[in-house]
């Protein structure tokens, strides 16, 4: 704390590597890796800082507590999902198919699947992580989706659609239940799309 470099917003003085503009992203990357590999309970701010090559104080400075690091890490993971409202507002026709293909695409991509699995594993086994997921992602995301829908109980409908995709992810990528684990993604889209279409537009049999 005796460095001569100018400090901003009370941040501890660090080397350039520490405080460079990439430090925040490096910490988030490290956090996602740590949560993914160790799970929520065994991940520490100290471990994240070490993996990111920064001082733990910088992690606290940027994000606060471990809970808050987790929140920020998973929020970034769900950034692809920010396209969902645009996907939904693109007209009712084919909405179920677009949504099914988007979700399967995110899960098929190993780069996005790994952090999603980490979040799922953390949230299913740790109530704090579950609360973080609820607070930082589910509420905001589902509300954004719900405002685009013209159905009764739009948030419930969005949750039921999400529940189906989460369940498919668990059986296909975690439990690896056959034939679902090996079937072509387009076959899943073909069967599931009408379900999502009905949930999100109320078209189809009730």
Residues lying near a second copy in the complex (CB under 8 A) are found at: 39, 120-121, 123-125, 130, 133-134, 138, 142, 153, 155-157, 159-160, 162-168, 170-172, 174-180, 183, 187-188, 190-192, 194-195, 198-199, 204-206
Distance (Å, whole) CA 175 – CA 146 = 30
Residue 101 C-beta: closest distance to a second copy, Å: 16
By C-beta, is 23 or 158 nearer to a second copy? 158
For the record, the structure tokens of 119 come out as 């979040």
Residue 89 C-beta: closest distance to a second copy, Å: 22
- On the 0-12 / 13-18 / 19+ scale of CB atoms within 10 A, 32 is buried
Residue 39 C-beta: closest distance to a second copy, Å: 7
For residues 23 and 58, the answer to whether their CB atoms sit within 8 Å is: yes
Q: Is the peptide bond before 179 cis (omega within 30 degrees of 0)?
A: yes
Residue 179 C-beta: closest distance to a second copy, Å: 5
| One-character DSSP codes across 26-53 | HHHHHHHHHHHHHHHHH--HHHHHHHHT
Residue 24 C-beta: closest distance to a second copy, Å: 28
- On the 0-12 / 13-18 / 19+ scale of CB atoms within 10 A, 114 is middle
For the record, the structure tokens of 82 come out as 């920010």
Q: Which residue from 37, 29, 125 is spatially nearest to 77, judged by alpha carbons?
A: 29
Q: Is the peptide bond before 171 cis (omega within 30 degrees of 0)?
A: no
By C-beta, is 114 or 180 nearer to a second copy? 180
Residue 192 C-beta: closest distance to a second copy, Å: 7
By C-beta, is 10 or 205 nearer to a second copy? 205
By C-beta, is 121 or 144 nearer to a second copy? 121
By C-beta, is 17 or 174 nearer to a second copy? 174
By C-beta, is 17 or 124 nearer to a second copy? 124
């Amino acid at each position: 704390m005796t460095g001569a470099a100018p400090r901003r917003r009370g941040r501890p003085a660090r080397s350039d590597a520490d405080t460079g503009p990439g430090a925040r992203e490096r910490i988030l990357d490290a956090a996602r890796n740590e949560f993914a590999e160790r799970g929520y309970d065994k991940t520490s701010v100290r471990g994240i800082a070490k993996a990111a090559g920064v001082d733990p104080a910088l992690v606290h400075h940027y994000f606060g507590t471990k809970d808050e690091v987790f929140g920020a890490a998973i929020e970034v993971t769900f950034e692809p999902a920010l396209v969902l409202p645009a996907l939904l507002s693109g007209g009712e026709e084919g909405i179920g198919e677009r949504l099914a293909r988007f979700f399967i695409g995110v899960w098929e991509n190993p780069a996005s699947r790994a952090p999603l699995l980490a979040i799922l594993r953390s949230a299913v086994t740790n109530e704090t992580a579950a609360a973080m997921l609820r607070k930082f992602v589910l509420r905001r995301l589902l509300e954004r989706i719900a405002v685009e829908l013209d159905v009764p109980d739009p948030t419930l409908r969005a949750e039921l659609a999400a529940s189906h995709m989460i369940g498919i992810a668990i059986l296909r990528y975690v439990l690896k239940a056959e034939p679902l684990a090996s079937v072509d993604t387009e076959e899943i889209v073909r069967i599931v799309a009408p379900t999502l279409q009905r949930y999100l537009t109320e078209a189809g049999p009730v």
